[in-house]
Amino acid sequence: MDVFACHGVGGIMGMILTAIFAHGENASLLHGGWSVFGHHMLVLVLVSVFTFFGAILLYKITDFIIPLRVSEESEHLGLDLSQHDESIGF
């Protein structure tokens, strides 16, 4: 499931294209207005920054509660064996 490709890119393109093609006096770039386009671009930047730092915060909180990196010993042993207790049955 690629959520960003579907909702993220779709939402970004929708905001940009709405600001370009909206109907009404001074409502879009095609009708001589920069106001709506400027507001949409500002919101896109603000939402992107909020989402980036929110994701980092959630990552740090999760890593504090449940460490997301395995130990070096587990890496040397092999993650199949150390994490899943699986071995190759040859």
Give exposure, 9-27, as e/b (b: 16+ Cβ within 10 Å). Answer: eeeeeebeeebeebeeeeb
Higher-pLDDT residue of 5 and 47 is 47
DSSP string, 66-82: S--S--HHHHHH-HHHH
Mean of pLDDT over the chain: 88
Instruction: Give the pLDDT score at 40.
Output: 92
Higher-pLDDT residue of 35 and 61 is 61
* Rounded Cα distance, 8 and 17, in Å: 14
Residue 12 has pLDDT above 90, yes or no: yes
Q: Can you tell me which residue has the tokens 């370009």?
A: 20
pLDDT-derived band at 74, boundaries 50, 70, 90: confident
